[in-house]
Amino acid sequence: MTDTANWLEQQAISEVECLVPDMNGVLRGKIVPAPKLLAAPDDAAIMLPNSAFMVAVTGQYTGAIDDESAYQDADMRLQPDLASLCLAVGTRPGQAPARAYVFCDAFAQDGTPWPSSPRQVLKSVIALYTARGWRPVMAPELEFFLTAPNPDPTLPPGAPIGVSGRAETSAAPYDLEALGEFQLVIDEIYRQAKIMSLPLDTMIHETGAGQLEINFKHGDPLRLADQVLLFKRLVRQAAREHGLAATFMAKPIAEQASSSMHLHMSVVDAETGLNLFADEDDGDTTLFSQFIGGLQTYVPQAMPLFAPNVNSFRRLKPGFSAPNNVEWARDNRTCGLRVPGSKRIGRRVENRLPGADANPYLAMAGSLLCGYLGIEEGLARRAEAPANAYTIKPDLPRTLEDALARLDGCEPVRRLLGHRFTNAFLRLKQVELDNFQGVITAWERDHLFGRV
């Protein structure tokens, strides 16, 4: 606590944003004076209504008649995770007044973890590995679009204007000239990331017009999930400061590529640090095979964790580097589960199914628990897929409605997520789906209004 007090003083922090990620990965919470962060919990408890975890992406509350506690809306106690403390976006180091961020875990008044908290869900899945003497390691790759400002949501976003003054309208995969068009935004992202202690790795121009991808350095899943949400906030602000908008929708533009959040995963021995997915001769271990077997068996049942919105399923189509399968193969991007070429130290599997719109805590928890179930149940992976896995009949749900039904009926996944969390998550997603299905789209008016 002394180190925290010194840091707050050195950085001239006057206020701290207490960040509580909800089920959609939206950052909720409250702002507190910096001294409150240092007070004993009983003397200056930070409270938040539990309805914070029952807010749909539309802003609606999703309390249901089968859960009377939803109407009581009791307070949760927030416990700041001081290891996550960092300077806020836009802060100038050492210049008062400054603001900081800290992620908070939510607890009931009796001290038990709040079951609807995605951050707590991820921690509980990591604990499964810890109990076996293992440590999961992950590295996200996150794609997003820069666009023109989009004040009218009934219109598609326009192409972004680069430093040349021209709009980028065509595909430009890995194009360094195209990347340079947004150098001012990119420079601001890296500058702010350094201030916020976000250890970003490489950035590339992806396939879509104005589409970029950032790689995060591998590490602890919980810290990386925190970093993904901070990065999203940082990117949106950097884009606005340069007259642009940024979106992490899975499929924001019909004729362009989609945006993913690929997750690279490995499991190491907590004591020795040795990768458990490969042996001394660099061959795949039985544990690795079972991990992939678990992903193949349970990812189709847990898809709302990777594709949580109606728009998410517009992304999962062959030919757009967004596999609609759970096949595996080595260095094959037509597969939902890709094993990059590597020696033992880097042996991992890449889950290519999560979209950029997925809640990083739930996408990481879902990937790890599916793999864990494969180990727990001794599931062998299927044979390696052929060169073009797009030719294999897909085995994933095609709509959010189907995906929610599969998750609802999958007891092993529900058990590891926690039934209270799963019920609350399904309820929230059903409210969002019902809301969407009540909207009449332009396509319906265009093709049906005067023809049927």
Element (H, E) at 142: strand 134-147
pLDDT score at 205: 94
Q: What CATH architecture does domain 2-114 belong to?
A: Roll (3.10)
pLDDT score at 65: 46
Q: Tell me the DSSP string of 200-239.
A: EEEEEE-SSTTEEEEEEPPB-HHHHHHHHHHHHHHHHHHH
Instruction: Give the integer Cα–Cα distance in Å for 153 and 441.
Output: 12
pLDDT score at 401: 97
pLDDT of residue 320 exceeding 70, the answer is no
Tell me the three-class secondary structure of 50-104, residue by residue. Answer: HHHHHECCCCCECCCCCCCHHHHCCEEEEEECHHHCEECCCCCCCCCCEEEEEEE
pLDDT band at 317 (very low <50, low <70, confident <90, very high): confident
* Residues whose CB falls within 8 Å of the CB of residue 285, separated by 6 or more in sequence, listed in order: 276, 277, 278, 279
Q: Are 37 and 44 in contact (CB under 8 A)?
A: no
Lookup: tokens for 44: 């200056």
Q: Are 418 and 124 in contact (CB under 8 A)?
A: yes
The SS3 assignment for 263 reads strand
- The pLDDT tens digits of the residues spanning 227-241 come to 999 999 999 999 999
Give the whole-number percent of the chain exceeding pLDDT 90: 81
| Burial class of 15 by CB neighbour count within 10 A (0 to 12, 13 to 18, 19+) | middle
Torsion of CA 364, 365, 370, 371, to 10 degrees: 60
Please give the distance of CA 126 from its chain centroid, rounded to a whole number.
Answer: 16
pLDDT of residue 450 exceeding 60, the answer is yes
Choose among 192, 193, 200, 232: nearest CA to 218.
200
pLDDT of residue 45 exceeding 50, the answer is yes
Q: Are 379 and 293 in contact (CB under 8 A)?
A: yes
Domain residues of the chain, as ranges? 2-114, 129-434
pLDDT of residue 67 exceeding 60, the answer is no
- Mean pLDDT over 38-47 rounds to 77
- The pLDDT tens digits of the residues spanning 120-149 come to 999 999 999 999 999 999 999 999 999 999
Q: Are 220 and 81 in contact (CB under 8 A)?
A: no
pLDDT score at 2: 73
Q: Which residue has the higher pLDDT, 207 or 68?
A: 207
Instruction: Give the integer Cα–Cα distance in Å for 316 and 257.
Output: 11
- Cis amide bond preceding 41, omega within 30: no
- Mean pLDDT over 265-279 rounds to 96
In CATH terms, the fold of domain 129-434 is Creatine Kinase; Chain A, domain 2 (3.30.590)
- The pLDDT tens digits of the residues spanning 359-376 come to 999 999 999 999 999 999
pLDDT band at 94 (very low <50, low <70, confident <90, very high): low
Q: Which residue has the higher pLDDT, 325 or 74?
A: 325
Q: Are 136 and 265 in contact (CB under 8 A)?
A: yes
